[in-house]
Every structure is written in structure tokens, then in C-alpha cells.
Chain A
Amino acid sequence: MQDDPTPTELIKAVADFLRNEIAPAIKGHNSFKLRVGINALDLVTRQLALAEAGDATEAARLKALLGADGSLMELNRALSERIASGEVDLTTPGLSEHLWQTTMDKLAVDQPNYASYKRELGNKA
């Protein structure tokens, strides 16, 4: 068992230091790059917090949709093939809901400030 602090606590401490102490002192292109770096650290903390639950519900939906078992990668490959072949489409019960939920869960990690995501959050199906 690894000791505390957790990866999330460590990354958050570093991100907060960079944001509050370093960013105000940096100018020009490096200031832009620093902001990208801080965004990356924030993304990692969101993924550590959210990915496990999101992956589990995504896998459960995929198994129900496909009537098959497998890893998340295998299940997504199988769904992709069925969409490509036309075997499933937006009239297939559950497909649209699955794609929406999976995409919303990705945005919650990747870009929670993206305007389309914020609009859809307030517009739940």
C-alpha cells in the first residue's frame, strides 16, 4: 500500500502553486504554455476522480447494447463496427442515450468549461 498524500492531492498542490505563485510572474509565450500545463494537471485530477465510475457505467451500457462481454476497448470496437455496418443506428433503443452519456462523461474530464457541454448539462434528457 502506497502512503499518503494521494496522487490527486499531490497534483492539486503542484497545480495550485503554479497557478497562484508562478503564473502571475511569467510573461509572453511561456505564460500561455504554463496555462496549458496547469490545464493538463487539472484534467488529470478530474480523470482520477471520475474515470473509474464513468468507465464502469459505460461498460455496463455497452454490454447491454451489444449483448456481449469484453474489455472497454473491445466493446467500443464492436459498437463502432456495428454503427459502421448500419447494424445499429439512432433508431436502435439505447444507442443515442449511450453515446450522449459517454460523451458527457468524457467532457466532464476533458473540457468541463466547453460551452456545448455546459448547455447540455442544463438540458438533461
Chain B
Amino acid sequence: MIETELRRCVAAFHPGATGVTGAAKLSGGASQETWTFDIVHPDGTIGAILRRAPPGYGAAPGRAAGLDAEATLMQLAHDAGLPSPKVMHVLTPEDGLGRGFIMARVEGETIARKILRDEEYANARPMLARQLGRVIAGIHGLPQAKLPKLRSLTATKEIEDLSREYHSFNWPRPVFELALRWLRDHDPGPSSEVTLVHGDFRHGNLIIGPDGVRAVLDWELAHFGDPMEDLGWICVNSWRFGEIDKPVGGFGTREDLFAGYEEAGRKADPDRVKFWEVMGTLRWGVMCCGMMQRFRLGPDHSMERAMIGRRASETEIDLLRLLAPRG
């Protein structure tokens, strides 16, 4: 039972803790898991989250920043007053829990359909775009000297990465070719300013409450690059969940997002944001195709992955709406 290791671990970093209850796995692939649990303490129960690669799994694959870097980034964001959970403990080998960290659990909602439709969030929705603009500006402004080692990404490199991945599927998609061609023709070149980029700033990775955004999660894809990438990614139509006339996450306008960003002392570049929105739409399309490959080649034969493969066409219509709008 994981509670045995957790109890020993918690006792070591949280004086006075008397135990651990309610451990339950929230999500987990082969190499990374998220657990929720409660720390029992005479002063009151504390909700906690464990994010870890179980023992026996080594460094993070491919694009991932790695769990140690994620912990550092979340703590820096927390220290800067951004909505980010407090990191309570970074796992050590003596904990016997693998690699990863334990953070405070933040209550709220991550499911887009609820955030966009439930009455509970009606007051939050109109202010979210502006609020998220300020938050992402804060992330881009985190002190460079304290940031962990991360990969660097430019528009040119991302185009070539997407092209290579798409071509590896060996399945012709004229609309993707059109998008790749457009991206190459409109590559704005290196950003004049390179900052920390969250890399996956969208529904699912944002905890929202009736009062607005409460936490930014999942820094797995964090890197150094063009700050406009984050602003473009949250405008991708795939994250609007049907509310297609509200470009920011289905709840807000670009103008509000940019206004929030600029209130925090940074400058938005709408042309670069549009470029990254096209890139992001193609990126999600390529990811959908990748799900289909993993369904076909992987051992688990997941029905959900198979059906995500059939969502690549959603990004094709969105690319056409961006690049070849009708009437």
C-alpha cells in the first residue's frame, strides 16, 4: 500500500502529522502517476497531491521538463504570488516513492464543460481571460536566474518537429501540408525576448473556482521560447469546447487576454499570437494522429485513443477556418 510509504514520508517533512488517509490514484500512465491523499494532523486535515514517476522509472521522456523541474517551477510561481499550489516536499530516494513531489491540493474544477456551462462559474467566466492574461504574464516574468534547466524551442524548430512527426505517420493530409506551408511562409523568426513558456496553458491544466483561477498545473511541457506561444495555445479552437465565438478557452476575448497581459507590464503581439494559434491547432491535430498510432501499435488497445484519432479532422476544419475562410 502506498499509504505506508506516504505516512513515513509525511512524518519526516511535516512535524506533528499523525497519518495519511484516503490515498487514491487520479491518473496514471506507465511512467507518471498523480495521487490524492489527506495528511492527518492535530491542527486539521491537509489535502495533498503526489505527482511521481514510480520507482524504477528514470528520466522523463522526450519533451518533458522532468518532475524535479516541475516542482521548482511550481514553487517559484507560488513564491511570486501566482495561483500555484505550494510544493510541500520533493521526494528523496529514502522516501521509497520514486521521483516526484508532494504539493498542497487546491479545490476547484478542471473540466472545461462544467467551467463553461455550470451556473457556479457564471460570475468567473467573464473575468477569466483578463485574469489568465495577468497570470501568464507573471509566469513569463519569473526570475530567469532561478529557473531550472529546460529545453529551448523556436517557431522554426517547432515547425520542423511537427512536420517530422506528421510525416512519420505516412498518411497524407493535404490540409496539414497547407498549414505547414503557411507556417513556414509566416515564420516570424526568433522572438526578440525569450522567456519561460508554460507550454500547456489551457483547460484541464487550470483549476477554476467560482472566484476565478486558483491554480496552474502541469508544467511538464515547460520550456524557453517565444512568450506569445502560451497566448496562442489557449486560443486554439480545440479548447473552446463548442463556444467558438469566445476564442480564449470558450469564455473570453483576445482583447481581454491581452489587456490582462499588458496590465502586468508585458506586451502582447497579436500577429505572433495568431501564428502560434495556427501552430497549436496543427500541433493538437498531429497529437490526435499520434493517439491513433499508439492505439494501433500499443498494447492496451484503448478505445478512447482510437476515437481521439478521429478528432484530427476537427483540427483540419479549424485550420481551414483560419487559413482559407469562406465568405
- Inside 8 A of A18's CB, which chain B residues have their CB? none
In contact, B313 and A40 (Cβ under 8 angstroms): no
A103-B175, A103-B317, A111-B310 given. 11 additional CB < 8 A pairs? A79-B174, A83-B174, A84-B177, A99-B175, A100-B326, A103-B313, A107-B314, A107-B317, A110-B311, A120-B326, A125-B327
- The interface-forming segment of A6-14, A20-28, A31-39, A49-57 is A31-39
Residue of B nearest to A105 (CB): B313
Chain B neighbourhood of A110, CB < 8 A: 310-311, 313-314
**CA–CA, A77 and B167, complex, Å:** 11
A115 to B177, CA, bound (A): 24
In B181-216, the 8 Å CB interface with A consists of 181
Q: Kindly state whether residue B62 has any CB partner on chain A within 8 Å.
A: no
Q: Which residues of A contact B (CB under 8 A)?
A: 33, 36-37, 39-40, 43, 73, 76-77, 79-80, 83-84, 86, 89-90, 96, 99-100, 102-104, 106-107, 110-111, 114-117, 119-120, 123, 125
Can you sample 14 A-B contacts with CB below 8 Å?
A36-B303, A36-B304, A76-B173, A80-B177, A83-B177, A90-B323, A100-B326, A103-B313, A111-B311, A114-B314, A114-B317, A115-B242, A115-B243, A120-B317
Residues of B within 8 A of A119 (CB): 244
Let me know if B321 is at the binding interface, CB within 8 A.
Answer: yes
Most-contacted residue by chain B among A77, A86, A102, A114 (CB, 10 A): A114
Look across to chain A and name the residue whose beta carbon is closest to the beta carbon of B316.
Answer: A103
In whole angstroms, what is the CA distance A114 to B311 when docked? 10
CA distance A8 to B310 in the complex (A): 19
With known contacts A103-B313, A110-B314, A114-B314, A73–B172 Cβ distance under 8 A: yes
- Which residues of B sit under 8 angstroms from A120, Cβ to Cβ? 317, 321, 326
Our pick among B240, B243, B303, B324 for the contact of A40 (Cβ within 8 Å) is: B303
Known A103-B316, A107-B313; judge A39-B327 contact (CB<8 A).
Answer: no
Please give the number of chain B residues whose Cβ is less than 8 angstroms from any Cβ of chain A in the complex: 30
* Most chain A CB inside 10 Å of its own CB: which residue of B178, B243, B303: B178
Using A100-B326, A106-B313, A125-B326 as known contacts, say yes or no to A36 and B307 having CB atoms under 8 A apart: yes
Task: Specify which chain B residues have a CB less than 8 angstroms from the CB of A43 in the assembled complex.
Answer: 307, 310
Is A83 touching B181 in the complex (CB atoms < 8 A)?
yes
The minimal Cβ–Cβ distance linking A44 to chain B, given in whole angstroms, is 10
Residue of A nearest to B179 (CB): A83
The smallest beta-carbon distance between B127 and chain A, in angstroms, is: 23
Shortest CB–CB separation between residue B13 and chain A, in angstroms? Answer: 32
Query: Knowing A36-B303, A99-B174 touch, does A123 contact B327 (C-beta < 8 A)?
Result: yes
Q: Are A111's CB and B324's CB within 8 A? A: no
Residues on A with C-beta less than 8 A from B181 are 83-84, 86, 89
Q: Known contacts A37-B303, A80-B177; is A106 also within 8 Å of B316 by CB?
A: yes
